[in-house]
Structure 1
Amino acid sequence: MDTNIPVTSQPRIVIVGCGFAGLRLAKDLADSPVQVVVIDRNNYHNFQPLLYQVATGALEADSIAYPIRKIFAGQKNFFFRMTGVQHVDTARNTVITSIGEIRYDHLVLATGSLTNFFGIESIERNAMQIKSIPNALNLRSYLFQNFEKALLKENPEERQALLNVVIVGGGPTGVEIAGSLAEMRKDVLPKDYPELDLRQMEIYLVEAGPAVLGPMSKDSQEKAKRYLEDKNIHVRLNTSVKRFEDCRAYVSDTEFIRTENLIWAAGVNGAEVPGLPAEVVARNKRISVNNWNRVEGQTNVYAIGDVANMVTEDMPRGFPMLAPVAIQQAEQLADNFKRLLRGDAPVPFKYFNKGSMAIVGRNKAVVDLPGDKHFGGFFGWLTWLFVHLMTLVGFRNKVVTFIDWAFSYVSSDRALRLIIRPYKRTDFKDDKGKATAEHNAQTPQYNPSVPSPDAEVVGR
């Protein structure tokens, strides 16, 4: 039943997911008299904040990933099984996985989040996303493949569609990838593609709200927008993409942007686990928990991180889906497990906001700190680099990332422009690993002869 996990007299805590929350919880329980079992469908921890740099060739994938077994080497109470969870049987205290059943005394769901396409099928079918390392590698390959195709096109509309990039979502991911692509357009692509007029490459950042970086201060929002526009990025606020088909990103029923490259960074859902009662699944598929992260109506099931929906007076819509929230919830839950083992009452979670930040490009970043303090520019950029470098898991990853960043800064170049695994839309797999070939077979190719009555082209 237990996939060769030894049975002991110690309580078993099963953690599903080894992102920021699951990783911290498992590490904080290292010296506790419990058995820690981590389940993840990957054998590595992925540092998601730097995925966009993998997608744009600034970093290689192994710079932001670290083997789970190596992280916990020497932790005697730790066991890992690489598998996907099919559902949870709370009546039997059992997790059903693709390799068998795993019993638990306490279950912690730290499954993170999935891309939210808001029910727009054409976008889910055709857009690129950036939630995982395979996503980032696919995006990198797809972009460079399209540059190669653009060299061969005589039709200016076909060539323009291959060059243009539309990023949907003005949060940190959207802002950061837009800035990174703009630097590629300026410093990298002209060296590789001198036959192309890269001035024709248009980058659009489309945001449905009134400002980029919505959760940040107005000062940081305005700075970030100015930095983006200084890089010749078209920032479209109060605008949403309605559909994406025939290589046209429609921002209204009649107005579209020609592009083969639409990057969706507009929203996320919680990665819920089947088997929990429907009433505990809140908006955006997050799981409702109380103030010590226990799932409502359950006695030994918990949720932390992005998948947890903890509503308080200060956070009536739940805590934001951010790494600092996930890490602090994991730390508090580890402390509460230790309290339970001693027979003490658990302590409610209290979030300490250490601030937020986003990078737009070289020497350009914005930082918000507690106490209504804001700064940006070069100092903000250095702060962003230092915080992310120190947060990376593994000494090797820190060193390699620092060297790559230093090389890029000095040379204004990126060496990782390799199409190692050519990407095809028919190879696309969704976040749950299920093939969507039936959708991809219908993926339209750009055809300028397809009529679009009264359609207005945005830009080129």
Structure 2
Amino acid sequence: MFANLPETGQKRIVIIGAGFGGLALAQKLCKYDVQVVLVDKNNYHQFQPLFYQVAMAGLEPSSIAFPLRKIFQHQKNIHVRITPVHAVDTTIKQLKTDIGVINYDYLVLAMGADTNYYGMENIMKNAMPMKTVSEAIYLRNRVLQNFEDALSEPSEEEQEGLMSVVVVGGGPTGVEVSGTLAEMKNIILPKDYPELDFNKMKIYLFQSSNGILPGMSEQASEKGADYLESLGVTLRLGERVSDFDGTHVITNKGDKIRTNNVVWAAGVRSNSIDGLEAESFARNGRLMVNEINLVKGYEDIFAVGDQAMMVSEKYPYGHPQMAQPAIQQGELLAKNLYQLIKGEQTKAFEYKDLGAMATVGRHLAVVDLPFWRFQGGFAWLVWMFVHLMAILGLKNKVLVFINWLWNYITYDQSLRLIIKPKLFGKKTKTNIYSSKVN
């Protein structure tokens, strides 16, 4: 069965994934005389840098998600299809999906990355990742429900386990989750749960290297660590979490920490698709691409963003798996694909590093720009402005700004809702956690 797509005589470019790279590519390609098919398992684009604010009840999921069809309402040469993709047959240039077979002239893989558990099965089973909106909602449900359960828990040890949180991974996501949790502990949660003793709530941040925010400047790392410690976060630097059975964390040094909650932000692995030759993959699972993002061993398959490993003198291990490299690769690939169709010269990709930033809490952030490094209140304002401008849709920008302004004025969030999706045919106590999607 073939997917119902119009035959227009135009070259068909199929893009798998509507993340930062795939979306940037699709938006640019719409300007050219080609047929674009954008395939994703969700009907919306997710703004991943603010997942942690959904998880910490600072924003509604709809504020950081934008419907794909709305983005392309006025573009006649793009067709959005919502379906999982199972495999590619490169010999006959076809994708196998739940809605049928999709033919392509050119294929672009922009499927992003997922959580990397490094083969630790217990952690995969019991820890909480945060790579999708649904996982962020699950984390919010879990944390808030634990406080409800702690109210009726007679055992002090069990109360500590329900309330305490271990965050693994000292990159921007781990730092932002830890900082937000600490501010909630200090300001918000004691007002919601006055019967609980929040001295029992411990927040740990584990980072295997000797400093947080790897990839940022030493100045940013040191200042970020100072900010977290001032908020009450316990930093465990140079240590790893080696096991988690659901109630206790075990470290590589043999320490045992009582907690029911582990937020896993320690690493990513590229998503993959069946049907590609093994020689196309690097040892880290990313697809090896040349200077125009063409996948090794193919003349009609490209990869951008987290999936692509483009080796250069400056980036011997590929570009960082962040939004900016994906966006820049997607935008240039759109031009290069059209040049290839016309038989004209393409342009080699060169990454322009725009800097990095992370927020720790109210008036606490670190910013590394190519020409300037700064921290504190001004960095916090810059972080908010940059992220606000990057969100799709005027309505979403306004909603996020209103939430941030309200939180700033009141020192409070108003979105601490435990969402309980109904599972038909089953009535179990664990239904509140059913929004977790792998």
Q: How does 1:156-167 map to 2 (within 5 A)?
A: 156-167=156-167
Equivalence for 1:222: 222
Distance 2:26 2:153 in 1: 53
Equivalence for 1:445: none
Distance 1:23 1:141 in 2: 30
Equivalence for 1:361: 361
Equivalence for 1:43: 43
Equivalence for 2:426: none
Q: How many residues align?
A: 430
Q: How does 1:128-143 map to 2 (within 5 A)?
A: 128-143=128-143
Equivalence for 1:399: 398
Counterpart check, 1:383 vs 2:388: no
Q: How does 1:85-124 map to 2 (within 5 A)?
A: 85-124=85-124
Equivalence for 2:419: 420
| SS of aligned partner of 2:284 | helix
The amino acid across from 2:225 in the alignment is K
C-alpha displacement of 1:4: 1.2
- Larger displacement relative to structure 2 (245-254 or 326-335): 245-254
Distance 2:70 2:130 in 1: 25
| SS of aligned partner of 1:229 | helix
The amino acid across from 1:17 in the alignment is G
C-alpha displacement of 1:343: 2.0
Distance 2:208 2:3 in 1: 47
| SS of aligned partner of 1:129 | coil
Counterpart check, 1:325 vs 2:331: no
C-alpha displacement of 1:305: 0.6
The amino acid across from 1:35 in the alignment is Q
Check conservation: 1:88, 1:273, Cα contact below 8 A: yes
| SS of aligned partner of 1:91 | coil
Distance 1:200 1:374 in 2: 37
Counterpart check, 1:410 vs 2:409: yes
Distance 2:386 2:259 in 1: 35
Q: Could you state the TM-score of these two structures normalised by the residue count of structure 2?
A: 0.96
The amino acid across from 1:359 in the alignment is T
C-alpha displacement of 1:337: 1.4
C-alpha displacement of 1:428: 7.1
The amino acid across from 2:86 in the alignment is Q
Tell me the alpha carbon deviations over residues 241-277 of structure 1, each in whole angstroms, 9 at most, x when there is no partner.
Answer: 0100150010136311100010000000001111111
Check conservation: 1:268, 1:284, Cα contact below 8 A: no
Equivalence for 1:278: 278
Tell me the alpha carbon deviations over residues 100-155 of structure 1, each in whole angstroms, 9 at most, x when there is no partner.
Answer: 10000000000000100000110000000100011000000000111011111111
Check conservation: 1:114, 1:131, Cα contact below 8 A: yes
Tell me the alpha carbon deviations over residues 441-460 of structure 1, each in whole angstroms, 9 at most, x when there is no partner.
Answer: xxxxxxxxxxxxxxxxxxxx
Tell me the alpha carbon deviations over residues 285-328 of structure 1, each in whole angstroms, 9 at most, x when there is no partner.
Answer: 21111111000010000000111111111111111001000000
Distance 1:426 1:191 in 2: 25
Q: How does 1:146-157 map to 2 (within 5 A)?
A: 146-157=146-157
C-alpha displacement of 1:284: 2.9
Equivalence for 1:447: none
The amino acid across from 2:179 in the alignment is G
The amino acid across from 1:258 in the alignment is R
Distance 2:101 2:406 in 1: 48
C-alpha displacement of 1:427: 3.7
| SS of aligned partner of 1:338 | helix
Distance 2:30 2:322 in 1: 24
Check conservation: 2:134, 2:436, Cα contact below 8 A: no
Counterpart check, 1:20 vs 2:1: no
The amino acid across from 1:150 in the alignment is A
The amino acid across from 2:85 in the alignment is V
Distance 1:249 1:30 in 2: 49
Equivalence for 2:341: 341
The two structures, once aligned, show a CA RMSD in angstroms of 1.3
Tell me the alpha carbon deviations over residues 209-264 of structure 1, each in whole angstroms, 9 at most, x when there is no partner.
Answer: 11100100000000100000000100110000010015001013631110001000
Distance 2:433 2:45 in 1: 27
C-alpha displacement of 1:198: 1.2
Distance 1:173 1:271 in 2: 19
| SS of aligned partner of 2:27 | helix
Distance 1:67 1:397 in 2: 11
C-alpha displacement of 1:42: 0.3
Q: 1:408 to 1:361 in 2, by over 3 A?
A: same
| SS of aligned partner of 1:95 | strand
The gaps in structure 2 that reach 5 residues or longer are 422-429
| SS of aligned partner of 1:33 | coil
Check conservation: 1:126, 1:425, Cα contact below 8 A: no
Distance 1:288 1:425 in 2: 41
Distance 2:384 2:74 in 1: 30
C-alpha displacement of 1:3: 1.4
Equivalence for 2:75: 75
C-alpha displacement of 1:194: 0.2
The amino acid across from 1:196 in the alignment is L
Distance 1:341 1:311 in 2: 25
Distance 2:138 2:435 in 1: 9
Distance 2:284 2:232 in 1: 34
